[in-house]
């Protein structure tokens, strides 16, 4: 009996030792990134989430955002990252709808344990996904979200993409400068997209404020390819100016079909036209389209020169507004992290603590970016001084084009 008891006691003791060893090994294998309550180690790269569209009809715009953050990652890591610690980008595809953006945010926050997020691609997606970041106290910076109300989603939501309310009126005033005889205006917009609904409201109000005659408002979907009905309805009312709020593919096709139907007046494209991808959609018929912009390749500060040079070398084309804004978004995170680390080593924060302190720091600073000097309002909206208007100029082959800047002073 005694020997049996001794054997059982020894067996129990052995099991306890194994259990302790397993727990210890499990604890050691959990690094600072996978456990939200631990610190970022001194040798760990700092993870920042990138939530852009890699698939769907929004992928062209998402790709421009991705191009911008890749240039920024290489640039800032080449300068030592965050005081010696590199930045790591973690990508999630938002696709083109709200569900895709929600899934991307949840994966970045709960699985990848990022300290902040750049994205999503569309304002429509931001209204659904940004509240998830807000609830989890994870800072998010929109690089292409210009609809009214984005920063007001919450304390952890900011953007480096200027509100359409600020940018859009410049395009209408530029059109009037080219043709002071403009009186009649036709407006087209994608009704299934929050940004385009917000943008067209600004355009329509600008038209009315300038005492122009809004002769028609035509609706379409971002997934449409046939605009013959809307185009014919508008042309029959003899407009002097057409204003389109859409994305690159649908907007470009609408431009093309308006010209094919015989419309010869000035066309203004909204923020969705701020991409070189539109050249391949409307090709030669893109020529002359006016677009207001929050970025110029010619802005004369050092970081824009470095960004422009690196972008052209990498991608063999001029950077778009979205690429520049995405670069600026990552710059904001890097410089805020650098500043925070100088005050209090960031590897001493837990992940939740770092997210909170990072959000405070990024909102209080000023940044010299490719967009010029920017800062943030208390609610997280970007404060930007310089804006531009460009006109699409197509080469004789009808394939290649460029944005030629107009004098709007």
Is 133:114 a contact under the CB 8 Å cutoff? no
Q: Which tokens sit at 305?
A: 């020169």
What is the spatial order of strands in the sheet that 87-93 belongs to? 87-93, 46-52, 116-118, 140-142, 157-159
**How much is the pLDDT for 188?**
98
Tell me the percentage of the chain whose pLDDT exceeds 90: 83
More confident residue, 39 or 367: 367
Predicted confidence band of residue 409 (pLDDT cuts 50, 70, 90):
low
More reliable by pLDDT, 247 or 3: 247
pLDDT at 251 over 90: yes
| CA–CA distances in Å: residue 7 to residues 16, 178, 198 | 14, 97, 77
Predicted TM-score (pTM) of the model is 0.85
Average pLDDT over all residues of the chain:
90
The pLDDT value given to residue 43: 61
Predicted confidence (pLDDT) per residue in 181-227, tens digit? 999 999 999 999 988 999 999 999 999 999 999 999 999 999 999 99
pLDDT digits (tens, 9 = 90+) for 106-150: 999 999 999 999 999 999 999 999 999 999 999 999 999 999 999
Q: Where are the alpha helices (DSSP H) in 262-377?
A: 279-282, 302-315, 321-343, 351-364
Model pLDDT, residue 3: 44
């Amino acid at each position: 009996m005694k020997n049996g008891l001794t054997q059982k006691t020894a067996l129990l003791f052995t099991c306890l030792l194994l259990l302790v060893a397993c727990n210890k090994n499990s604890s050691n294998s959990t690094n600072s990134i996978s456990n939200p309550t631990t610190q970022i180690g001194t040798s760990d790269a700092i993870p920042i989430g990138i939530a852009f569209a890699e698939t769907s009809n929004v992928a062209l715009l998402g790709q421009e955002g991705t191009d911008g953050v890749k240039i920024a990652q290489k640039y800032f890591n080449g300068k030592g990252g965050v005081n010696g610690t590199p930045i790591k980008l973690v990508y999630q595809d938002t696709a083109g709808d709200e569900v895709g953006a929600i899934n991307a945010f949840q994966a970045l926050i709960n699985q990848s344990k990022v300290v902040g997020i750049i994205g999503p691609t569309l304002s429509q997606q931001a209204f659904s996904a940004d509240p998830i970041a807000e609830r989890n106290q994870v800072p998010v910076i929109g690089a292409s979200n210009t609809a009214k109300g984005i920063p007001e989603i919450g304390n952890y939501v900011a953007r480096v993409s200027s509100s359409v309310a600020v940018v859009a009126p410049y395009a209408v005033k530029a059109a009037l400068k080219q043709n002071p005889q403009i009186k009649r205006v036709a407006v087209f917009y994608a009704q299934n997209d929050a940004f385009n609904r917000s943008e067209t409201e600004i355009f329509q109000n600008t038209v009315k404020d300038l005492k122009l005659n809004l002769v028609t408002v035509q609706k379409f979907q971002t997934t449409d390819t046939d605009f013959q009905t809307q185009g014919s309805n508008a042309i029959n009312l003899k407009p002097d100016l057409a204003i389109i709020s859409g994305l690159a593919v649908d907007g470009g096709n609408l431009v093309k079909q308006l010209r094919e139907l015989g419309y010869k007046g000035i066309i203004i494209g909204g923020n969705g036209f701020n991409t070189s991808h539109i050249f391949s959609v409307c090709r030669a018929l893109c020529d002359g389209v006016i677009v207001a912009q929050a970025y110029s390749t010619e802005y004369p500060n050092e970081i824009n020169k470095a960004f422009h040079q690196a972008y052209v070398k990498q991608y063999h084309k001029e950077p778009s507004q979205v690429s520049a804004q995405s670069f600026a978004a990552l710059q904001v995170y890097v410089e805020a992290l650098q500043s925070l680390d100088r005050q209090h080593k960031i590897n001493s924060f837990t992940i939740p603590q770092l997210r909170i302190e990072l959000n405070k720091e990024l909102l209080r600073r000023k940044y010299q970016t490719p967009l010029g000097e920017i800062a943030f309002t208390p609610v997280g909206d970007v404060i930007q001084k310089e804006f531009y208007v460009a006109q699409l100029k197509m080469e004789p082959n009808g394939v290649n084009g460029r944005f030629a800047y107009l004098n709007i002073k």
